[in-house]
C-alpha cells in the first residue's frame, strides 16, 4: 500500500545538497534514507546531488565518510569511465569536463549494485548509476560560476588562513554546461517540458 501511494503522488525525485553530514544520522536524514529505499523498490526516477549522492549510497548499504584528502571545492575536471559509454545520459558527453564541487564527505565505498561512472583526481565516485532509474553526482550540476564564486568567497571569510588558496580557486571558476546537461536531461526525460514552459522555464541544451 505504501509503495502504491508513493508512486501515485510522486513522479520523480531530486535529492539536493545539504549543510548536514550523512554520518550525523539526523532523524530527518534517516527518514529520508528509508524513503529512498522504498522509492528504489518501485524504480522511481531519482537524481541525487552531493548530499543526495551520499545519502542514496548510504541508504543502500554503501560507506560514506570524510574524505582522507579533505574538502574538494571549486571548478574541477572529472573523467568519465568506460562504463559511462553504455549510459544514454552520458554517452554524448566528452570524456573529461569541468564540474563545480563543494563537499567534505564522499562515498568511500559504493553500495552493492551501484556502478561508478566518473571520477575526479581526488574522489573516485563522482557519478553513480543504480540501474536505469537512479543517477547521482557528487558535483553540483545546478551550480553556475557565479554560485561557485560566492561559496569560495564565503569559505575565504570563514578560513582567513586559506584565503590565498580560495582566491586562486576563484580564478579558475567557470560555468559547467556539460554537468548541467545531466540535470536538465533528467527533467526532460520526465516529459515535463510543457509544464516548465508554462511557468516561464525552458529545458534546453547549450
142 a catalytic residue: yes
Residue 113 lies in a domain: yes
Residue 203 lies in a domain: no
**Among 84, 158, 75, 154, CA closest to 116:** 84
5 a catalytic residue: no
The length of the chain, given as a count of residues: 206
Which residue of the set 103, 142, 157, 159 is catalytic?
Answer: 142
Residue 107 lies in a domain: yes
Residue 170 lies in a domain: no
115 a catalytic residue: no
Predicted pLDDT at 1: 38
Residue 148 lies in a domain: no
Residue 133 lies in a domain: yes
Predicted pLDDT at 194: 39
Could you give the number of structural domains in the chain? 1
Kindly give the confidence (pLDDT) of every residue in the chain, 206 residues in length, as a single tens digit, with 9 standing for 90 and above: 355 556 666 788 999 999 999 999 999 999 999 999 999 999 999 999 999 999 999 999 999 999 999 999 999 999 999 999 999 999 999 999 999 999 999 999 999 999 999 999 999 999 999 999 999 999 999 999 999 999 999 999 999 999 999 999 999 999 999 999 999 999 888 875 334 444 333 433 33
Residue 41 lies in a domain: yes
Which residue of the set 50, 53, 103, 125 is catalytic?
Answer: 50
Indicate whether this model's pTM tops 0.75.
yes
Kindly report the CATH number assigned to the domain that includes residue 105. Answer: 3.40.50.880
Which residue of the set 72, 103, 125, 140 is catalytic?
Answer: 140
Q: List alpha helices for the chain, DSSP H.
A: 2-9, 27-41, 51-59, 145-158, 163-171, 177-189, 193-198
Residue 10 lies in a domain: yes
Predicted pLDDT at 189: 83
Q: Which domain holds residue 182?
A: 2-143+177-194
Predicted pLDDT at 190: 81
List 78's β-bridge partners, or say none: 97, 120
**Among 203, 140, 201, CA closest to 173:** 140
Predicted pLDDT at 30: 98
Amino acid at each position: 500500500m505504501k509503495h502504491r501511494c508513493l508512486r501515485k503522488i510522486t513522479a520523480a525525485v531530486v535529492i539536493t545538497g545539504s549543510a548536514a553530514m550523512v554520518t550525523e544520522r539526523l532523524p530527518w536524514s534517516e527518514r529520508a534514507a528509508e524513503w529512498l529505499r522504498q522509492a528504489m523498490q518501485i524504480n522511481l526516477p531519482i537524481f541525487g546531488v552531493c548530499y543526495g549522492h551520499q545519502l542514496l549510497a548510504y541508504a543502500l548499504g554503501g560507506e560514506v565518510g570524510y574524505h582522507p584528502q579533505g574538502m574538494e571545492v571549486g571548478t574541477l575536471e572529472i573523467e568519465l569511465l568506460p562504463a559511462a559509454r553504455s549510459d544514454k545520459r552520458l554517452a554524448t558527453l566528452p570524456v573529461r569536463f569541468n564540474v563545480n564541487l563543494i563537499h567534505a564527505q564522499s562515498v568511500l565505498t559504493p553500495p552493492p549494485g551501484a556502478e561508478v561512472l566518473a571520477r575526479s583526481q581526488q574522489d573516485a565516485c563522482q557519478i553513480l548509476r543504480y540501474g536505469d532509474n537512479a543517477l547521482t553526482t557528487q558535483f553540483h550540476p545546478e551550480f553556475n560560476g557565479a554560485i561557485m564564486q560566492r561559496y569560495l568567497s564565503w569559505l575565504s571569510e570563514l578560513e582567513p588562513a586559506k584565503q590565498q588558496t580560495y582566491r586562486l580557486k576563484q580564478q579558475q571558476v567557470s560555468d559547467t554546461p556539460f554537468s548541467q546537461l545531466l540535470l536538465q536531461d533528467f527533467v526532460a526525460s520526465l516529459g515535463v517540458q510543457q509544464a516548465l514552459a508554462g511557468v516561464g522555464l525552458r529545458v534546453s541544451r547549450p
